[in-house]
Structure 1
Amino acid sequence: MTGLAAFDTLLQSMGGLGSVLGIPVRSLVNAAGLAVLAFALGGGIGLVHRWYADQTVPEGLSVLVGLSGVALSLNTDFALAQVIDDQTAILALETAVFNVSVFLAAGLTAAAGGRAGDRLGAGTFALTGGDRVDREVSKVVRAVGRVVTVDLPDTEDIGDIEGYDPVPPETKAEFGGATLVFPRRLTVEELRKRLVERLKTDYGVGQVDLELDEDGVVEYLAVGSRESGIGPSLPPGTAAVPVRADPPHAARAGDVVQVFRPAAGESGPERVTTAEVRGSADDTVTLAVDEAEADAFDDTTRYRLATLPIAARADREFASLLRAAEETMGVATVAEGSPLVGVSLGGLAVSVAAVRPAEGAVEAIPSRTRTLAAGDTVYAVARPALLRRLEAAARGDADAEPPLADAAGRSD
């Protein structure tokens, strides 16, 4: 108010010129002050949004906040003018032009303030260590407890999963020792699932064996890769071979066919093998065959295919599904003194596909009430973490805890 009073005194000292210029100059000063207010409000919301969400503030939000402050200021001025000075020219042409001009200027300055506040926040919070935490959130956000961080083991402490191709060392180096950020209020199991998904999606890891303690700290981490393309859907012991052939009418992927090689003379076509169609494009057909028969094909012969009646291939279907799932199969032999002796199969937190006793035939899909004895070999399907516990308990390792069903929620 002191500045405006001094400005009015200066205009009065100018005489007639001051009275002519007083109204427009004063309006310009008021408009500039409201534009500065909009810039400050837009910059403030940009700074807060960068701190809270670590994202650029939407331009519409900064403009809305800036205009809200300007509108509140104008309404307060006009209300006081009516009550104190009994001025009723709110809807006068000069007032309308002034309001529209102020709102246009305030909208532009609020948008600029939002961008300035965002840049200030990005630079400030980066200095606090935000970029070192996977570029997801700043240290300020972590300090107020809205997220939880998980530190991964160093590269040399990350193991390989047996039965899967090893992950390249350079891939392990990308996430070895990294700190990943997740939302709070996740259970240990939810945190484990999200961490496994992050490793698979962000780093292209095919299989993850992960154990967390009750505080969410990584106790064990092993990874394995899975070949891309048709490889993961092929059962063990088979290979995919492309051949030149005319695919049978209506043949689809998964159909079983007999493969014939044209023979010279009157001997007729020669049967090469029985295969499974995996795909076709023009005159090229991809066949799944046993590895031992893959060398029987060449790229110069045009083969003939004959579709066979549909036959169930439970072994291949099971192997394909197993390789595409998170679970895998493990085998463990129960030793003397193992804590598994006397435990029923239904009490285990794994799916038992078969049991081979020390003497006798293999029992496929055994009853859940069957109890284990020393010498039994258990074929189980579960996540690698549970299989490692099963194998340790079967060997009778010290402090080994068998994966019991009542503890599955905590162990998973």
Structure 2
Amino acid sequence: MVLISDLLLSAVQGLMDGAIASFFIIFLAMIYRYFTNENFPSFIGIILGLGIVGISGGLLAILEQPSIEAIPEIIIASLIIAWAVNTGNKMAGKIPKNVNPIQKILKAKHKGYSKVKLPNARLIYDISGKSRVPEEIKNDLSERELVFPSDLPVEEIESRLKRRLITDWGVGEVEVEFDQNGEITYLAISAREQGLSEGIPKGYAAVPLKCGIMPSGLAPGDIVRIYLKNGGVIEEVEIKGVNNAEKIITVVIKQDKIEKISAQEASLIVVLPYYPMPKVDSIVVKRSGAINEFDLQKLVTSMKDAGLDEESAEHIADNVKSKLSKSTVPISTKKIQDIVVEELEKKNSSIAKKFKKRYKRRK
């Protein structure tokens, strides 16, 4: 009973020690990361944190003088301090580097630093055959400036840039090319290998499908058209997995279309061209000249308001997106409206006129 109470008291003391040390460690990690552009080491943070709260010897004390009562205090305090180090690194990474006065002074006096500016999110491409990163990461990287020593060769800057993107933003692979002036001319990234669930958008599902004929070299990330043996066709779906031995592929489709391929077998898989360009959802230019996001769901809602049923509206929206993906960016709202009206006229001419009238009224 005495031992249990001692362990509980030790655990509470560990929580208190970790909380006190975390304030100092977060601040220290932020300063280190902000000025060095490298993550503050967790091990060093734990040692310093334990020293701050007066735990003499830290983890080494347990090895020299084993004490069961001291173990919970050391472990709990160490876990909280490790969390504080990670939090400090993340907070410093969100601070804009282009307003750092210390870096400006260093650059002005010593000319020892140079900045590498990343491309706009629309020019950060996906690596063919690899899982794609979320748009949030591309937006976070968009036109961000990274600082490197100016005396480094291009090969070393390339290596450090890749390491920064992989370490700080959690991407899987990085492809980058520089011109003679040290400016980035091409940047492509892919997501880390992970489970299927994390890479599937809301409203979609990953479904296995048996294939009769499968193209050689088919890989995850390919966009394909699937011809089913019952005569059905599935347009532009993404491959998530390939089992060449069993001739089974895993594709991502809308959940309401699962029944269409349930218990079906594909007679032919056709790989479609890969367009290394940003998604349609973020490359629409308004009449004012500003570039805004194109909301596919908003388009579906507009067609439903004009009198179209939901299933037909989603089908037309998919066709519109497919056509826009082959267009030169940025795409004007006028062009989108023309394509939508064209698709609506195939379905219902009266609804097409109503939709067009609503669009003109918004002008």
TM-score by length of 2: 0.28
**Structure of larger gyration radius:** 1
Higher helix share: 2
